[in-house]
Chains A and B, each alone.
Chain A
Amino acid sequence: ETGVTQSPTHLIKTRGQQVTLRCSSQSGHNTVSWYQQALGQGPQFIFQYYREEENGRGNFPPRFSGLQFPNYSSELNVNALELDDSALYLCASSLQSGFAGGDTQYFGPGTRLTVL
């Protein structure tokens, strides 16, 4: 086990709604990254937070936003849900310098989001 937890496990929403997904990182891991994994694809980087500030973003629109809190928890918020947002959302925490590309990523179990 990685010590990274996510909630909820599964979620069903309708198009246009908003959703908040939660992640609890390993204690001491000051970097958290969020990924979207569509069925049959590799995880796609959404963004990364280091010490409560966003310090890297992938090719995702502004309706994907996040927060990181001092207690090693974080959130991913998605507004105006679209059908294509249906995917497994993974958070991953890492230990070092805020450069997730260079750190081992400890993934949580993910939240399966279905948008109808």
Chain B
Amino acid sequence: GQQVMQIPQYQHVQEGEDFTTYCNSSTTLSNIQWYKQRPGGHPVFLIQLVKSGEVKKQKRLTFQFGEAKKNSSLHITATQTTDVGTYFCAGSGSARQLTFGSGTQLTVLP
């Protein structure tokens, strides 16, 4: 079945440093979504990418979808303490479901 792998599992950064998490799928994806889950909270939708090579920005967050539609990344510029949480990618392929990665837990040290 479809597998989605995410690295790193944990990332500690100093406030103001950049952060990147990477997502790789075992199969070609029709789209990829990114979610953020704060400690004790539930996943909250950030963005969806559909096109090969697509790049989208939301303020300090930059999302990319690979040319082969099998990988994606999320980059945060100049992290802030409000960025703390776990970031999940979730991809869908031929199956009628979203497959989530295991997430990257981001800690931002003040």
Contact = CB atoms under 8 A, between A and B. Distances in A.
Interface of A: 2, 33, 35, 40-45, 48, 55-56, 58-59, 90, 98-102, 104-110
Contacts of B6: 42
A105 B43 contact: yes
Contacts, number: 70
A107 B37 CA distance: 10
Contact of B97 (A90, A100, A104, A108): A100
A90 B88 contact: no
Nearest to B48: A104
A32 to B, nearest CB: 13
Interface string B1-41: 10010100000000000000000000000110101000001
Nearest to A41: B102
A45 B99 contact: yes
Given A56-B96, A58-B97, A42 B102 contact: yes
A20 B50 CA distance: 36
* Max count, chain B CB within 10 A of own CB: residue among A55, A56, A99, A105: A105
Contact of B31 (A48, A56, A90, A101): A101
A106 B33 CA distance: 12
21 contacts: A35-B100, A41-B102, A42-B90, A43-B43, A43-B88, A45-B99, A48-B97, A56-B97, A98-B96, A99-B92, A101-B93, A101-B95, A101-B96, A102-B31, A104-B33, A105-B43, A105-B90, A107-B35, A107-B43, A108-B42, A109-B41
Interface residues of B, number: 26
B98 A100 contact: yes
A22 B23 CA distance: 32
Contact of A42 (B30, B44, B96, B100): B100
Contacts of A48: 96-97
Contacts of B41: 109
A105 B42 contact: no
B96 A105 contact: no
